[in-house]
Structure formats: structure tokens, C-alpha cells
Structure 1
Amino acid sequence: MTISAEPRHGLGTRLAALARVVELGQGRVDPELLDEATQLLLRAGNRLKLSPDHTVVALAGGTGSGKSSLFNSVSGLELSPTGVRRPTTARTHACVWGLEGAAPLLDWLQIQWRHRFARASALDKGESQLHGLILLDLPDHDSIRALTDTEADRLITAADLIVWVLDPQKYADAATHRRYVTELAGHDAVTVFVLNQADRLTPEEQAICVADLEELLKREGVANPTVVATSATTGKGIDGLKAVLAESVSARRAGYLRLEADLDKLMLRVAKDMPELLHVEPIVDGARRAGLADALCDAVGAAAVGEAIENVYGVRSIDWVGWPYARWAAMFRPDPLKSLRLGDVKDDIRTLVGGSVRAQPAEVDNAVQALSDGLSQGMPEVWQDGVRDAARSRSGQLPKVLTDELGEIAPPLDRVPAWWWLAKIWQYLLVLLFLAGLGVTGAIVAYGVFEAGPPPTDLLGDVGVLPWVLLMMASVLGVGLLSAVASRNFIVLAAGSERDRLERDMRRRVSGVAQELVVEPVERELQRYNDYHEALNTAKY
């Protein structure tokens, strides 16, 4: 087996990115995957804090594979019990080459004190290349004892390097391959396969078995399997296995490689349904904001309210700047609307504007949905749902908030522009002048034409003044009529301006409400997606 002298760089960065993936993926990623990622982060954090000078190598295998005998052969001591009783190894045994600094790591592995052994004399035996090795003899993974089975699974996950001990009769055992080997596909650099009990085979049979095992492993995803044939009984192949272990121990990189392999495998599953290069714009563009504002204005009937305001403005102006004679004459004319039983249009308009402006929930929901659908195109379905949920997260408040906001800006009906007062005063002054002219005309006719008596003044008895008085009265009527027409034109302009002002104010408030209750939650979700996507790509590579 060849282990690169240079580790794969950026493990710390990738683990930090994985933590970000876990944080941002809540509610968007399979909870089981997030749990696995959390467990990996915890395991990586613990392992990286512990002794980097020790490499944990686990001997794993099924019942009868000779795993404990191999453990004793490598350690050179009778440390793990062997025999015909199955399972032989009930608890994990550990042999340490170089005990200094290993205790916290053994505590984390939960190896009992009575099952820890040290090779203090290893250097004297010429095994300095194994200094830093922690060799574990795991319980049989197919043990009938549930406790030992669980312990084996835990330590197989925690070990830096796994040595699978197989025997010639059961090296293709489906349980081992299906449960463990296929799950460790991609872990070539930190997995070794030992075909033990090779003394039972002829050289030809051994070659066939090794070739068959390598082919089987390649089919299961182990691209470059490392297979070592050994015999714990005769010692054949033990030195070869020690050389493989020594290479791993001396490189001091097996722990990093194991974590990277676990991370690689996990990220393939997490990123399964994520596009490689899809980055979304996290800011809602002006066109979409305007479209949302338009749709919400339609939902609250902004145009209808503006038209009603314009009509109310015009109706109310008649009482102030209209020609008084026309108003008085209208009082004696029958109202065709009343004859049609349509009610008082003026009152209807006043009621429409004076009451609450109400948003239609269905139209509001449609506007929000259109925005979220347009922004989330191309994103994975679960993230599209996230954008929709974000858009709707506060949309339930929209109708009421819009109603309250727009109800505040409806102009009060008792508000009268100052120039209306001036126009009304001017019209009534003209009425008074006309009435004064009528009085003077009557007096001249009485005193000057019919000589009803001496006139109070010479002017009232002078018939020659009468044409001028009539001309003045006609002029007053003309000026009054022209004033009414001019005022009406100003009213039309002012009513349109009032409508535009109201609609602008309504749109401004609608845009503000949409920004707070819809756009901002959507932008946060889009930014969350981008952050997740970036973290995912970092954790993958």
C-alpha cells in the first residue's frame, strides 16, 4: 500500500465548510445526512485534538478469521486470547508502540485499562518503524454478542486505518462485503485486506484467492485494493504486513486520510441532487420588485381608490366652487338616479373612500407566488420550496398590514383647499352684486318710470342710469359664469393631481410593506442558498 507523503490540503477548511453545510442545510437536507455530518464533525474534532503522532490501526474480521492470532504475531506477544471458543475476543485489546501521549487517544477510543499493552522494548527489537502505532484487536463483527458487535462497528468508524482480516474459506463472505467493504469504497488509502491462514493454501491456490479477492474488491468500488497474504501460524507475510503498517505510521497521515475519505463519501451523498454551478442572484431586481408592487396595488384596488378619490374631489367641489345659480336650479330638478333607485352616488363614493381599503388575500397570495416562482427557477426542488416558504413566511400579515397602511393615507373628506374658500366667497360676492343690481333696477323703475314718489336719491330716479345698471348685472352674471367654468377646469386638474398623489403614496407604502414582508425574507433565503452552495462546494473539494 502506498500512502502519499503529502496529505490532502484543506481538511480544516473543508470541515469548517461542512459545519456551515449542517447549519444552513437545516430543513433543506435529509436529517439523517445532517446527523451523519454532525457525527463526522464531532469525530474529526476529537481525533484532530488528540495525538497526531499515533496511528490507530484496527484489525477487523469475522469469527474464525485468525484476527487475534494475527494481532499477537504483529505485536510479538500473547496479548489477545485465542482458541476454539467463539467469539474469542469479547473486548477490544490495544497494543501501543510508544505510550507517551497515547492515553487520551485510548480513552477516546474507550479501551479499558486492563486491555491496554505497551511495547516498551520495541526499539530493542528493531521495530522503531512502528513507533506511534496503536494496534487494536476488535471483537468479531459477526459476533452473536450484541455488545461486541456494536463495539466493533464503533471502532471501525473511529480507526485511522482498517485492516480486514479474511480467511481463505470466507473471504467472499457476503455479510462482510455488503455491510462493511462496500461502505468503505473510496477509502483505499486507509484500508488493507489480509488473506490470513495462507498456510492452508498451496502457492497456486493462494495466487488464485488473492486475484479473486482483488477482483471482488474492485467490483465493490475499491479501486486499488491492498491485499497481503499472511499466516499467523507460520509467520509468513507478517513482515510484509508490518511494512505496510510502518509506512502508514511513519507518514503520520492515516488519520487525516481517513477523515478526508469519510468526508468525500459523505459529500457525494449530500451533494447528490445539487447542481454544480448554479448561483442565484441574492438581490431581487427592480423589475421584479416593481411587478410585485403592481400586483399588490391591484390586490388592494389602488387604481379604483384613486379614481374614487378623483370623483369625490369633483363632487365635493361643486358645493364650493360651482356656480350658485346652477346649484339652486338643480334643487328643483328631479334626480334621474333617484328615479332609478340607484341611491346617492355621492354618498356611495364617500363611503368607498372613507371606509377601509381592503386587500384581497387570494390576489396577494398569487402575487407572492409569482415572485417566488420566478426567482427559484433552476434551483433544486427543496430549495424552491424554501424560497416559496420564505416569501409566504409573513404573507399572512400582508392583507391586514396593507389595509392598515393604506387606510391611513385616504384623504379626510372634510379637508377643503384654501382656494375653494376664496372661490366660494368670490361667487357669493358676485351674487350679492347681482342682487344689489336687481334692487337698484327695481328702484329706478319704481321712482323713475312709474313716479311712485320722490326717490331717496337722484340716482334712483334717473332712468338714464338703468342701462348701465343692467349692463353691470349682465357683467356680474358673465364673470360668475366664467369664474365657475375656470374653477371647474382647475378642479379637474387638481382632482387628477390628487389622484396621482394618492396613487404614488399608496404605491410607496405598498412597496415598503412588500419589501419588509416579502422581499427581505426571500433575499435572505436566496443568500442562504448561495452560502450553502458555496460551503457545499468547499466541503466537497
Structure 2
Amino acid sequence: MSRHGGTKEASRLQRRLEALNDARELAEGVLPDATLDDVLHVLERASSRRSLSADHTVVGFFGATGSGKSTLFNAVNGAEIATAAARRPTTSEPLASVWGADGSEPLLDWLDVRQRHHADAVEGFADEASGLILLDLPDFDSTRAANRQTVERLVGMVDVLVWVLDPQKYADAAVHDDFLAPLASHGAVTLVVLNQIDRLPEADVKPVMESLRGILARDGLGKVQVLAASALTGAGVDKVRAAIRQVVARREALALRLSADVSQVAGRLMDASGPGEPAGVKSGTGARLAEELSRAANVPLVVDAVPRSYKHESTRRTGWPVTRWLVRFRPDPLRRLNLRSTSKAEVSRTSLPPAGAPERARTDAAVRDFADAASDGAPGPWRASIRGAAREGRERLPDALDQAIARADLKAGQKSWWWAVFNVIQWLALLTAVGGLGWLGVLAVLGYLQLPVPDVPRVEGWPLPTLMIAGGAALGIFLAITAKFITAAAARLRAAAARKRLKSAVAAVAGKLVVEPVEVEISRLKSFNAAVKAAAAA
């Protein structure tokens, strides 16, 4: 592939790394720390490797004891490397063979490879191999723990993995189960070489190669390139060298290796998260939550007090003046609840009964049912996270609901226009009746004192003072009865309006303390799914 193609691959890798980091940050506190640590390790390793030489391609030779790995390494490099390798102080140290391209030292320092050799040109392996670093590594089945640790470390750091197998142990579970199968996503940067084919009869080479390919397919590496070679006789070495040369020439091994790492850990994130999408917050579930919280917060009690308070005030202002004063001895229902103030800035608490065990149980059940409905279908860890978000505000609900009710505008201090009209007429009726009584009283006193008693005006034969008494009393009673009907109708309207305002206030509290945190967590899951999908998209 051209360098332009490598640049496109690098740009694609950058977007995937950014998506992977977004997924990691979104999953913090939800998915296991071990999984997130693996992701962070890949991100840090990718950042470190990309900051080093992009002109070098690191190819590691991995193999078991007796596979002829080092012999093949020398055959690919040439005789001079074999001489250098023979002088190595210990076989536990990886050896680097560097082909051209300056600036390899920081990269080899990062790889912690101290044994270094600058190779000479080999026929058919010259300019195209510029920037190649070949690593001969310790045997992965070594009895020395340090050797195995070195192999395991560099398996995760080299750009290209060359697995050198031999006819006797090519099916060994140690290499397949511990290394090849876990790196199934790295097929694009993996090369498998069946070495020492000189030990096989020529007729057996093909069946053994087919068997190896079948095993690799079961490992998830069915498309990986498999070559046969003999480092001893030189058979197939040119093909191995050509395959490595081709990888270097494409200049995309680094991006492909890191891309495979991203795919691998993105898959782990997917597995840790699990499949599924949450049902989300529906209008019906939100309404049910608000209704249950309204009941738990004694909203019905307040709604019931609103019309009774209105009737109390209406009677005090429009009742028959002779008896209306008796209303003062009955407490106002809203005032008893500390909800009578006309200035809501003065009210921070109500006098409603404090939430007891039944109310708390009802609140908990309402929040739990809402969270269960919203998280239905979500993966297990995220379902727990969504439920946890709903529960976080649960302890603050009783106090927040009480304050919301205290601040709700119940129109408790709002007067009705007809009160003043009825009040004026009631007093005129009373004054008329009192005037009639006074008139008759004066006539009675004059008669008692044997003084002349003037004739009183009559209407249809009825004395005017008597009509004044009867008319005033009848009008007062009529107004009082009429006022009760009007009051009852207005009280129902006040109650309906209060119910609407209180439920709106409760819904706002539920939205802030329960619904919004749940929606944030659901949005977080959706963003995570999108990010991990973008990171996994090779």
C-alpha cells in the first residue's frame, strides 16, 4: 500500500483511539476496573508507540524451544547476524536487527531491547526493508519466568508477530491457547512459519500445512498467512523475507497492530457491558412517578384544604353579618398547613405531616418502579447504574417535595370580585332591618309613655318598618344561601387549579432528582454504545 494509504489508516486509527477513550471515560464507575485498565493500557501504549519513530516497523520472532526460531531469524538476516547472535551474553535477552532508517534508539529503549545490531543489505532485502527492526525473542515456553515475561511483554508491543512453529509441536496447546487464540483480532499483523520442513518427508508437508491451517482457523486466524520454510536448508526463507519486506513496504503495520489492539479491547468493553438498549423514560412512566410522589407528599391533603380554605374566607366576607363572626373561631385549613401566606418567599416549609414509614415506602417503590421501567432492556451493569442514578436523589425527595408544595401558588390570598358586592348588599340589608327595628322601637316607646304615636307609612297594608325588617332579613338570608352555591363552584375551580399546580411542582422535583439523572445515565449508555461501536469498527 502507498504511503497515502498508510496515512489514511493512521487517520482512521486516530478516530478509533479517540472513540475508545470516550467509551472508557463513559464506562467509568459502571464496568469493571480491570477491563477499563486494559483499555487505558492500550491507549497509553498506542500514544507512546505513535510518538516514537513511525518510519520503523518492529517484527518479533516468537517460538517454542527447539522450533529453530533463532536459526530462521539469522537466515532471514544473513550470516553476519548469526555471528553477532552467537556472542550474545545470554539467550534470555532479545536481540534487535535494525535495517536502515535512523532514529531507532528511542524505540528500542521503549521496547527495552539492549542487544542491537545494524544489519547489512541482503540480496532481495535491501531498500524495501529500510526501517525494519527484527527481534529475536526468548522461547515462550522457557522454564525461566523472566523469559516468559519478556515474551508476554513484547507480544503486546511489536508491530508484527511472526510465530515460528515446528512439525513436532505445531499443535501444542501452549502456543495456541496462551498466545495465538487471544490474538485472533491481530491476523492482519500475524505471520505463521512452519519451520524445519526438512525434517518431514516431502509428501507430508502439505497435510501438515493443512492441519496447521485448520488449527489456526479454530483459533480465529483462518486468514493469516502461513509459510513453510527450512532455516537449515534455506527452503522457503526467501518467501518469509519477501512477506516481511512487503509488510515494511506498505508502511501500515504500526497502524494495523494498534488497530487490532483497539478492536480487541473494544470487544472486551462490549463483552463487559453486554448487549441491549434501555426502554428509556416514557411519558406514562414519568406521569406515574409524579402521581405516586404526589400521594406520598400529601398533595391530596393540600388539594382538599384549598376549597375548604376558600369557603372559610368566602363565608367570612359574604356571610350574614349577624352570624359571620362565628367563622373566626374555626381555623383556616391552609393556615394550619402554613400555606396561607401570600408571599411565597416567606414560606420555606409546610406544616404537613412528616413522611412516615408508609410514605417513605411509597416513595421508594415509585422511584424503583420508574427506574426499572426506564432501564428495562439495558445491559446488566448499566441497568444497575441507571437504578443507582434514580436512587441517588431519593433521600432528598421528601424535603424537596415539601418545599415545592410550600412555594406552589395556591391563590390562597386571591380575593373574588363578587365578595365585595355581596358584602355591601349584606350590610345594606342588615342596616335596613336594623332601621325597621329601630323605627318600631321608637313607636313602642312613644305608646308606652302615652305620647301621641304618629302613623307609619304602609305598603299594600303592611307597615313600612315591618317590611324593612322582613325584607332586610330575607335579603340577607338569600344572599348567604346564594353565596354558598357560588362559593362551592368557585372552590371546585380553585381545587382543580391547585391540583394542577401542585402536580406540576411535584413533577418538576421528580424531574430534577429522579428523571433527569436517569435520562443522563441512559444518554451515557447510548453514547458509550456509539463510541465502542466506532472504536470496534475496523
Q: C-alpha separation between the residues in 2 aligned to 1:5 and 1:211? A: 36
Output the CA distance in 1 between the equivalents of 2:424 and 2:188: 100
- Within 2, Cα distance between the matches of 1:508 and 1:126? 78
The one of 490, 493, 504 aligned to 2:489:
493
Letter of the 1:162 partner, please give it.
Answer: L
Q: CA deviation at 1:254?
A: 1.7
Question: Are 2:171 and 1:172 equivalent residues in the alignment?
Answer: yes
Whole-angstrom CA distance in 2 between matches of 1:55 and 1:330: 96
Equivalent residue for 1:53, pick from 52, 55, 63: 55
Aligned to 2:351: 356
Change (3 A) 1:116 1:329: closer
Q: Give the C-alpha shift of residue 24 in structure 1.
A: 0.9
Cα distance in 2, alignment partners of residues 464 and 128 from structure 1 = 137
- Paired letter, 2:38: E
Asked if 1:37 is matched to 2:32, the reply is no
Q: 1:80 to 1:426 in 2, by over 3 A?
A: farther
Summarize the Cα distance change of 1:225–1:313 in structure 2 as closer, same or farther, 3 Å threshold: closer
Decide which moves more: 355-364 or 518-527.
Answer: 355-364
Partner of 2:97: 95
Letter in 2 for 1:17: A
Write the letter of the residue equivalent to 2:156: T
CA contact (8 A) 2:276 2:377 kept: no
Alignment partner, residue 297 of structure 1: 294
SS of 1:96's equivalent in the other structure is strand
* Equivalent-residue separation in structure 2 for 1:529 and 1:245 (angstroms): 42
User: How far 1:67 moved relative to its partner?
Assistant: 2.0
1:118: which partner in 2?
Answer: 118
Residue of structure 2 equivalent to 1:478? 474
2:454 corresponding residue in structure 1: 461
Which secondary structure does the structure 1 equivalent of 2:192 belong to?
strand
TM-score w.r.t. the length of structure 1 is 0.84
Amino acid at match of 2:515: V
**Which shows bigger deviation, 59-68 or 419-428?**
419-428
Q: CA 1:88–1:164 in structure 2 vs 1: closer, same or farther (change >3 Å)?
A: farther
Counterparts of residues 399-438 of structure 1 (less than 5 Å):
399-409=398-408, 423=422, 427-428=426-427, 430-438=429-437
Choose 259-268 or 472-481, whichever is displaced more.
259-268
User: What is the DSSP-based 3-state SS (H/G/I as helix, E as strand, rest coil) of the residue aligned with 2:463?
Assistant: helix
Shift of 1:59: 0.7
Deviation, structure 1 residue 407 = 2.7
| 2:438 alignment counterpart | 439
Preserved CA contact (<8 Å) 1:273 1:380: no
Q: 2:408 touches 2:505 (CA, 8 Å); kept in 1? A: no
Q: 1:476, 1:279 → 2: CA distance?
A: 72
Contact 1:353 1:410 in 2 (8 A): no
Of 11-20 and 349-358, more deviation after overlay is shown by: 349-358
- Structure 1 window deviating more from structure 2 (476-485 vs 45-54): it is 45-54
Structure-2 separation of matches of 1:265 and 1:330: 79
3-state SS of paired residue (1:158): coil
Alignment of 1:63-212 (within 5 A): 63-76=65-78, 77=80, 78=82, 81=85, 89-112=91-114, 115-119=115-119, 121-122=120-121, 127-212=126-211
Q: Secondary structure at the match of 1:508?
A: helix
Amino acid at match of 2:117: F
Moved more, 318-327 or 295-304: 318-327
1:314 aligned residue (294, 311, 316): 311
Contact 2:273-2:382 within 8 A present in 1 as well: no
Report Cα offsets for 1:470-529 as digits up to 9, x if no partner.
Answer: 111111112211222233233223323332343233223222212221222122112212
How big is the alpha-carbon RMSD for the aligned residues of Structure 1 and Structure 2? 3.5
Aligned to 1:339: none
Moved more, 245-254 or 484-493: 484-493
Whether the aligned pair in 2 keeps the contact of 1:320 and 1:420 (CA below 8 Å) is: yes
Assess if the C-alpha contact under 8 Å between 2:310 and 2:491 holds in 1: yes
Q: Deviations over 1:31-65 (max 9, x none)?
A: 32222222122222222233232211101112232
SS in 1 for 2:117: strand
Give the equivalent residue in structure 1 for 2:23.
21
Structure 2 length-normalised TM: 0.84
SS in 1 for 2:164: strand
Measure how far apart 1:279 and its partner are.
Answer: 8.0
TM-aligned CA distance change 1:259 to 1:414, over 3 Å: closer
Distance 2:321 2:267 in 1: 85
What is the CA-CA distance between 1:150 and the residue it aligns to? 1.1
CA gap 1:211/1:196 in 2 versus in 1, 3 angstroms: same
- Partner deviation per Cα, 1:438-466 (whole Å, 9 max, x = no partner): 2321332343xx462335xxxx5335668
Partner of 1:271, secondary structure, is helix
The code of the aligned residue for 1:302 comes to: V
On the 8 A contact 2:274/2:380 being kept in 1, the answer is: no
**Does structure 2 retain, via aligned residues, the 8 Å contact 1:141–1:148?**
yes
Maintained 8 Å contact 1:317/1:491 = yes
Preserved contact between residue 371 and residue 386 of structure 2 (Cα < 8 Å): yes
In structure 1, what is the equivalent of residue 346 of structure 2?
Answer: none
C-alpha contact 1:160 1:190 (8 A) present in aligned 2: yes
Trace 1:198-237 onto structure 2 (pairs within 5 A).
198-237=197-236
Using the alignment, how far apart are the partners of 2:304 and 2:496 within structure 1? 10
State percent identity of aligned pairs. 36
Provide the rounded CA distance (Å) in 2 between the counterparts of 1:74 and 1:314.
Answer: 102
Could you tell which deviates more after superposition, 464-473 or 421-430?
A: 421-430
Aligned AA (2:487): I
Aligned length: 515
Paired amino acid for 2:473: L
Structure 1: gaps spanning 5 or more residues: 332-343
Instruction: Compare 13-22 and 284-293 and name the one that shifted more.
Output: 284-293
d(CA) in 2 for partners of 1:221 and 1:302? 63
Asked whether the 8 Å contact 2:194–2:227 carries over to 1, the reply is yes
Counterparts in 2 of 1:345 and 1:432: CA distance versus 1, 3 Å: closer
Q: Structure 2: which 5+ residue stretches go unaligned?
A: 340-349
Distance in 1, matches of 2:149 and 2:207, equals 34
Is 1:389 equivalent to 2:388 in the alignment? Answer: yes
Alpha-carbon shift at residue 235 of structure 1 (Å): 2.8
The answer to whether 1:528 aligns with 2:512 is no
Residues 105 and 431 of structure 1: CA distance in aligned 2, closer, same or farther (over 3 Å): same
C-alpha contact (below 8 Å) 1:323/1:481 kept by paired residues? yes
1:118, CA displacement in angstroms?
0.6
**Shift of residue 361 of structure 1?**
2.5
